[in-house]
Structure 1
C-alpha cells in the first residue's frame, strides 16, 4: 500500500512510503524515523499517530500490531506527533468524548459513495487536526490571524483548546471567512501532497510534467522579480498621446494614433466647429473596427487646422457617437511628415511646427478611463481575506502578504512564491 506521512503542519516534512499491510507498527515507525531527522532521537513511546481523525498512542501493547489491524488503507495520510516529555504540569490528552466530538463534526460520506470520497474525507480529517495543532501550539500564528479571522482563533482558544469545539465551528454550511480559509487550506494541502508524490519519480510522465511546470514557474517568477527591480515603470499605466490644436478657430484636444489608417472627427466636435456644412454625405457607410460597428456620417475633404502658429489643411471622416473627439491618423501624419518625438515629448510637423504632448492632468478624463480600464481592474484589487489568512498562517507579515496579493491579483500561489523568493534573497 502507498501511504503519505507527515509530521509538520506546513508540509515541509512530507514523504510517501510504500509498505505492506502486514508490516508491524514497530517496523513502520522505525522506517518513518529514518525519513524524518527530527524524530531520530524520540523514543517510540513518545510518538503518537493521527489517522482518520483518531489518535493512536504508541505503547508496548500495540507495537506488534500490523497496519491492517489499525485499519490503515492504501493512499491514507498519516501524521506523526512527538509527545512532550512528562513534567509536573501534564498537558491533558484528548478525552474519548472530545475525539467523539471531532468525528461527529466531520461529514462522513454515505456507504454507496466512491472510494475517492473516502480518501477526501481522510485527508480533510488529517488536515483539520494539523490546522488545529498548529494554531494551538503556535501563539505567533494565532496573533497574526487574530485581526483577519478572529472567530477562528476564538474557536481554538475557547474551552481550553478543545478540539471538538473547534471542529464544530469550522464545519461548512456557512459563508464565513473562516470556512473559505479552511476549504482553501484543504485544497492546497491535497494538491501539495499529490505534487510531492509525483515528483519523487522524475522519470514518470506526471513527474516530468510537474518538474517542467515548476521550472516554468521559477522562470516566470525570476522575470517578474527582475522586471519589478529594473523596470518598475512597466506596471504603471502609460498616458496616451494628446495634443492641443484648433479646428476652424475652435480649440480641441486630438488623440495621436499612428496605428489608425484615417483621421476621425466626432459629430459633436464637427458641430461645435461649425463643420457639418462641409460633410460630404455621399461617403456615408457603416464601418467596422476595434470598437465595433459605427456610423460614418460622411467626409470633410479639407479644413483649416492650427498647430501652434502654423496652419495645415487636413481631411477627416466624421463618425457618430464617437468617444474620442479628434483622432489624428496615419493619413495626416504622413502627409505632413510628422515625427513622434518621445525623447522631447512632442509631435513635429516637418520642419515648420512642433507641439508638446499633453500631461496626464490635461488628458480628457473619459478617454483616460477608457484606456486605463485594464490597469484599474488590477490596481483596485480587493484582497481576499481567506487567502490573506493562509499567507499569514505560513508566517508572513500581514502588510507584506496583503501587498503581494494585490500585486499578484489574489493569486495565492504566486504571492507565496514571491514572498518566499524575497525572503531567500534577504
Structure 2
C-alpha cells in the first residue's frame, strides 16, 4: 500500500494549553529493525492505551506504536469532558437496531466513565479530575428534549440526571442565555493529555513497550497475517489492533471510507481567578444541546477552556480566536476583551450513523473508530472491549461488531458537502428553536 504523507508535522505537540501544562514524560524510542510482537497496537490515544493496559493486566506482551507523541491526536487536545453516552442517542439506537441492542448499549456505556475513574485511582494518575457535567438548553424545545433524555436513561437503569430550571441552572452557570439544563453528577472533566500520559506510564509499569515517532506507512495483509511497516522498522504481530481513528489515514483503505475527519477548536483564556469562580460556581463542565455546540469548563489554574465549531474534512480554520471568542462573549458578556493565551484545533472522526465502529478484518486485526465527538468515554470502553476479545472474552465485542455501519451517501468524496448541508439544517433548527 502507498505510504501516507506525514501528518504529524515533525511530531511535536500542538501549541495547546494542555501541552504547556503537561506532566513530565519520557521520549520513547522509534521502532527500528525487524521485530515480532504478540500484540501490536497502532495509535497512542485513549483507544490504544485502554486496550494496551487491559491486555498487559491480563499478562499479554504488547507493543504500542505512535506516529508522534503519546496523546498527540484528539486524546490530548479534546475538551476533557467525561460525558456519558454516545453521540447517537439510545432512542435512535433502538429505532435502528432494536430494543435488545439499545438495552445493551444503555447498560455498558457508563462503564467507560467508571473505567476511567478506576484507572486514575489504581495508577495514581494526576490529571485534575473534577466532578459534574451540565447540559444547557436555549429553548423550551431543548428543555423538552432533555426531559425526554432523562426519562429514556431512567428506562435503562440510570438515574443520574437532574433537570434544572433557569434559576437552578444559574447556581452552576452564571449566564442569562439559557432556558435551563440538566445535571449529570456522574459526569466529570479532566486534563486529557495528562490522562493519556498517565495511562502510558501505567502500561509501561505493567511491562508494555511504546515506540513514539513511529508513523505507520503501510500495513500488509490486514485481513490475514498482518505486517506493520514504519519509516525505520517492521513489526510482525500475532494480533493487530488499529486505534488511529481520524489519524489512521490511507494505510487501511477498508476502514478509511467508513469515517470522515472533522476538526473542533478550543481556546484558553488567561487565568480568571475570582471571575471564573463567579461564572462557574460549582466548577462543573458544560456543553449545550445544539448540533454545533459550545462546550467549556475551568482548568485547574482557573482559565476558561472554551470549545466549539466544526470543520468537516479535518481542516483548521484560519483564525480560531475569531471563530470562538464571539460565542464566548455571548454566553459571558463580562469576559468581553478577555485575553486568550492559547488556541488550537484537532481532528476527530465521525461516522454516518454517529455510532462508533468496532470490528475485525480477518481473524487477527481488530479496529475501533468513529467516536463522533464522544470519544473520551467511548474510546476507553471500546479499547477495553477489544482487549477482552483478544484475550478470549467476546461477549461484549460480538454485540458491538454486529451493529452495521452505514456508508456516507456517495462515499468519502461527498461526505463533506453532505455533512455541511446537514449542519446547516440543524443550525437553522437551533436558531429558530425548532
> TM-score, with normalisation over the residues of structure 2?
0.20
Select the structure with the greater relative contact order (CA < 8 A; seq sep ≥ 6): 2
Q: Which protein has the larger Cα radius of gyration, Structure 1 or Structure 2? A: 1
TM-score normalized by the length of structure 1: 0.20
More strand by share: 2
More helix, by proportion: 1
